[in-house]
């Protein structure tokens, strides 16, 4: 049973669609367009319009780095070129996602107001240039950004081409200027109230770090100190909040004039520098920039699964469709080796992204620039300039397909399973001095459990500890090192009320401020929930291993981490088979209230966790939205509006595949019935539907 079937049995929810923009219900196809680089070549700009139509592009993202063209001198604005671009795109049947230009500033601004440039952690102010390097706190920068943003909103508020605001570009990084330091201290005062409380939560008695004056507190820096983990964590949280505050300031400046135009900013997958859950709160929809390092063979299957995880995170940030804002049609220019996307890979990647909840396929960049560091980056239109390129032909074929997917727009995904991922947890875990200091491999652990679901074609949400757990039958929470009292209670209640919870080694060791829990791991009541006590963790050398003997007599190789746990009511599913902890439990399950709590105390890479996940899925009756058997590399994801179920069957292998089904489907693209079997070309996706 999947959640949709449950909802339908309840006979309630219908019309579940959530649109990016109610006035344009099409899959967006297009990308970053930089006409301001070609203003002296009107023939090129005219050709752009012809080619856009040819490739069925209906969207252009404009103005991301256009500040110098829009405000060539302080207070002198020039919108004439943008007026024409907006009009031309609209006349061509397209729409515009218009950017605020704060991602890079004009030279005059940095020259006149040096404070807009960041100070790095050694205390040096950086020079003008590059991009994404402004101070988020600087009052002058905020003021200048608000002015240009308001001018843009004022000018285009009624323009029929405008469908969304692209706020800045890929917010990232941090600043150590005096403004930012003062804001950090203020943030800490608000959080802790008193220095005593801060000293306690940061455990500053360690190495005599006790603070007696707020002014003594600096951000972490290699010139100073990084040993106060609570401070490291709070600095990261502060950077997120300060960035979000800057972004909110930008959003407010356009929203005041265009309340109905949605805002977004483009996120970089699992970017570790910002907690995207906080950023997501202040924008209307999520946008993703995604550039996997494709190889063009079956080794891409794992990359595809990683991609699925990224897409599911993006959809889950707001539990609604998102926009793929950037990808490349061919190669990028910043990987170590910039291999071309093989024929068909762009098509597969694009449709995969839609399968997971994107309502767009937008690329960086429309046309290759002539100069600058991105002139060799892939684009829809090459320096050659015509439609007669392999890439353009592929994009054109994709554009023709996307036109036939209007029915998908706005549909949502209903998952019975969730994986829990918290940025703070990942930060604290990576910061911990202990276990394996080379790499804690949190992403690896996340991808491992994700793959188990991807292989089976099970829809999954990537949630945070703040999400509502109630709608999920099964929550998988790998390496949840940081557990607050609140989260511990929530996990306990979830299981008590009937949920299945699977946790791993390193669960529940520290509080939300990175203080170790006292009274035995896992803390915050989880010892009772899992029915175990975790006494010690053995970190193995890469060449070491242990063996776990499972209840059915089979064995599995334990690597990296083996926890020495004791049962306190849990049932043992496997024990260690060697070393001084031979015979101790390695995997357990505890019935708690109406639910079950599973604990895997060791790491493995032989498919055991996948088997355990399969068993839980079976026990809970959680199935894929597609009934047929899925060969390795073929997966399925679904979207729905509450009445129709749309199923994307994705072939991530480099061979054609044939699948069986006993259900009656319709092919969304051509309206033809699909009965009995499905033929999939290599690296292709078929979109099916049936009534619920």
Q: Which residues have a catalytic role annotated? A: 170, 326
Question: How far is Cα 622 from Cα 619, in angstroms, rounded to an integer?
Answer: 8
Q: Considering only residues 67, 364, 626, 646, which one is a binding residue for ligand GLA as defined by CB under 6 A?
A: 364
Does 650 bind ligand GLA (CB under 6 A)? Our answer is: no
Q: Nearest to residue 680, comparing CAs of 638, 644, 636, 640?
A: 636
Residue 164 φ then ψ, to 5°: -165, 160
Q: Nearest to residue 56, comparing CAs of 347, 398, 510, 547?
A: 398
Token readout for 605 is 């890479």
Residue 28 φ then ψ, to 5°: -75, 135
- Which residues in the 293-332 window bind ligand GLA by CB under 6 A? 326, 332
DSSP 571: E
With the C-alpha atoms ordered 138, 144, 147, 151, is the resulting torsion angle positive or negative? negative
Does 264 bind ligand GLA (CB under 6 A)? Our answer is: no
Q: How far is the CB of 374 from ligand GLA (least distance, A)?
A: 6
Containing 322, the helix (H) or strand (E) segment is none
- Which residues in the 231-250 window bind Zn ion by CB under 5 A? none
Residue 49 contact partner, candidates Zn ion, ligand GLA, none, CB within 5 to 8 A by sort of partner: none
Residue span binding Zn ion (CB under 5 A) among the ranges 51-59, 170-178, 432-440, 493-501: 170-178
Q: How far is CA 75 from CA 67, 78, 106, 147, in A?
A: 12, 10, 12, 9
Token readout for 155 is 């000018």
Q: Considering only residues 58, 138, 169, 330, which one is a binding residue for ligand GLA as defined by CB under 6 A?
A: 169
Residue 366 contact partner, candidates Zn ion, ligand GLA, none, CB within 5 to 8 A by sort of partner: none
Q: Are 103 and 136 in contact (CB under 8 A)?
A: no
Q: Considering only residues 88, 234, 275, 289, which one is a binding residue for ligand GLA as defined by CB under 6 A?
A: 289
Question: How far is Cα 280 from Cα 285, in angstroms, rounded to an integer?
Answer: 8
Q: How far is the CB of 381 from Zn ion (least distance, A)?
A: 38
Does 117 bind Zn ion (CB under 5 A)? Our answer is: no
Q: Considering only residues 291, 369, 443, 515, which one is a binding residue for ligand GLA as defined by CB under 6 A?
A: 291
Give helix 139-156 / helix 229-255 axis angle, nearest 10°. Answer: 30
Does 102 bind ligand GLA (CB under 6 A)? Our answer is: no
Q: Considering only residues 56, 59, 71, 170, which one is a binding residue for ligand GLA as defined by CB under 6 A?
A: 170
Query: CA-CA-CA-CA torsion for 381, 383, 385, 386, nearest 10 degrees?
Result: -70
Residue 169 contact partner, candidates ligand GLA, Zn ion, none, CB within 5 to 8 A by sort of partner: ligand GLA
Q: Considering only residues 185, 377, 596, 689, which one is a binding residue for ligand GLA as defined by CB under 6 A?
A: 377
- Which residues in the 130-149 window bind Zn ion by CB under 5 A? 135, 137
Question: How far is Cα 230 from Cα 620, in angstroms, rounded to an integer?
Answer: 40
Q: Considering only residues 99, 145, 162, 175, which one is a binding residue for Zn ion as defined by CB under 5 A?
A: 175
Residue 664's CB is within 10 A of a number of other CB atoms, namely: 12
Residue 627 contact partner, candidates ligand GLA, Zn ion, none, CB within 5 to 8 A by sort of partner: none
Q: How far is the CB of 654 from ligand GLA (least distance, A)?
A: 25
C-beta closer to Zn ion: residue 138 or 263 = 138
The strand order across the sheet containing 287-289 reads: 266-267, 287-289, 323-326
Containing 423, the helix (H) or strand (E) segment is helix 423-431
Q: How far is the CB of 283 from Zn ion (least distance, A)?
A: 22
C-beta closer to ligand GLA: residue 2 or 311 = 311
What residues line the site for Zn ion (CB under 5 A)?
135, 137, 175, 177, 179-180
Residues that bind ligand GLA in the complex, under the rule CB under 6 A:
169-170, 289, 291, 326, 332, 364, 374, 377
């Amino acid at each position: 049973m999947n959640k949709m079937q449950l909802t339908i049995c309840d006979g309630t929810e219908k019309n579940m669609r959530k649109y990016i923009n109610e006035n344009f219900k099409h899959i967006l196809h297009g990308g970053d367009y930089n006409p301001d680089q070609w203003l002296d070549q009107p023939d090129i700009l005219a050709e752009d319009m012809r080619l856009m139509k040819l490739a069925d592009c209906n969207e252009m993202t404009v103005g991301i780095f256009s500040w110098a063209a829009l405000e060539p001198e302080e207070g002198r604005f020039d919108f004439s070129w943008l007026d024409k671009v907006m009009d031309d795109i609209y006349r061509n049947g397209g729409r515009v996602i218009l950017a605020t230009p704060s991602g890079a500033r004009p030279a005059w601004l940095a020259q006149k107001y040096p404070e807009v440039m960041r100070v790095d952690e050694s205390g040096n102010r950086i020079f003008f240039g590059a991009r994404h390097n402004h101070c988020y706190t600087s009052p002058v920068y905020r003021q200048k950004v608000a002015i240009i943003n308001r001018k843009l909103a004022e000018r285009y508020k009624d323009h029929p081409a405008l469908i969304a605001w692209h706020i800045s570009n890929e917010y990232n990084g941090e600043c150590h200027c005096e403004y930012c330091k003062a804001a950090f201290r203020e943030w800490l005062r608000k959080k802790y109230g008193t220095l005593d409380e801060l000293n306690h939560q940061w455990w500053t008695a360690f190495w005599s770090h006790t603070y007696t004056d707020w002014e003594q507190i600096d951000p972490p820096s290699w010139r100073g100190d990084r040993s106060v983990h609570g401070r490291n964590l709070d600095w990261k949280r502060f950077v997120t909040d300060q960035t979000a505050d800057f972004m909110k300031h930008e959003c407010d400046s356009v929203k005041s004039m265009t309340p109905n135009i949605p805002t977004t900013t483009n996120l970089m997958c699992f970017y570790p520098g910002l907690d995207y859950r906080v950023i997501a709160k202040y924008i209307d929809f999520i946008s993703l920039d995604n550039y996997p390092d494709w190889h063009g063979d079956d080794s891409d299957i794992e990359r595809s699964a990683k991609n699925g995880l990224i897409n599911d995170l993006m959809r889950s940030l707001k539990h609604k469709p998102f926009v793929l804002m950037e990808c490349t049609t061919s190669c990028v220019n910043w990987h170590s080796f910039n291999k071309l996307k093989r024929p068909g890979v762009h098509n597969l990647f694009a449709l995969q992204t839609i399968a997971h909840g994107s309502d767009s396929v937008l690329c960086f960049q429309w046309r290759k620039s002539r100069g600058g560091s991105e002139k060799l980056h892939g684009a829809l239109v090459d320096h050659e300039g015509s439609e007669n390129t392999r890439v353009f032909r592929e994009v054109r074929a994709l554009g023709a397909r996307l036109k036939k997917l209007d029915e998908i727009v706005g549909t949502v995904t209903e998952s019975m399973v969730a994986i829990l991922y918290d940025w703070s947890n990942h930060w604290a875990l990576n910061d911990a001095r202990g276990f394996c200091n080379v790499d804690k491999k949190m992403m690896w652990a996340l991808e491992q459990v994700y793959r188990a679901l991807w292989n089976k074609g099970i829809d999954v949400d990537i949630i945070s500890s703040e999400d509502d757990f109630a709608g999920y039958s099964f929550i998988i929470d790998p390496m949840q090192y940081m557990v607050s009292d609140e989260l511990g209670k929530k996990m306990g209640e979830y299981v008590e009320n009937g949920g299945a919870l699977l946790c791993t080694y390193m669960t529940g060791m520290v509080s939300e401020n990175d203080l170790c829990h006292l009274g035995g791991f896992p803390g915050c009541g989880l010892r009772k929930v899992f029915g175990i006590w975790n006494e010690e963790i053995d970190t193995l050398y890469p060449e070491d291993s242990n063996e776990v003997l499972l209840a059915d007599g089979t064995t599995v190789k334990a690597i990296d981490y083996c926890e020495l746990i004791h049962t306190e009511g849990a049932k043992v599913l496997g024990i260690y088979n060697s070393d001084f902890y031979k015979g101790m439990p390695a995997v357990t399950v505890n019935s708690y209230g109406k639910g079950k709590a599973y604990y895997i105390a060791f790491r493995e890479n032989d498919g055991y966790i996948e088997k355990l996940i399969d068993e839980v899925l079976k026990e809970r009756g959680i199935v894929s939205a597609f009934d047929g058997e899925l060969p390795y590399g073929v997966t399925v994801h679904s979207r729905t509006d509450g009445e129709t179920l749309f199923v994307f069957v994705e072939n991530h292998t480099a061979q054609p595949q044939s699948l069986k089904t006993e259900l009656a489907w319709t092919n969304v693209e051509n309206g033809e019935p699909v009965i009995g079997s499905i033929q999939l070309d290599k690296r292709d996706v078929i979109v099916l539907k049936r009534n619920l």
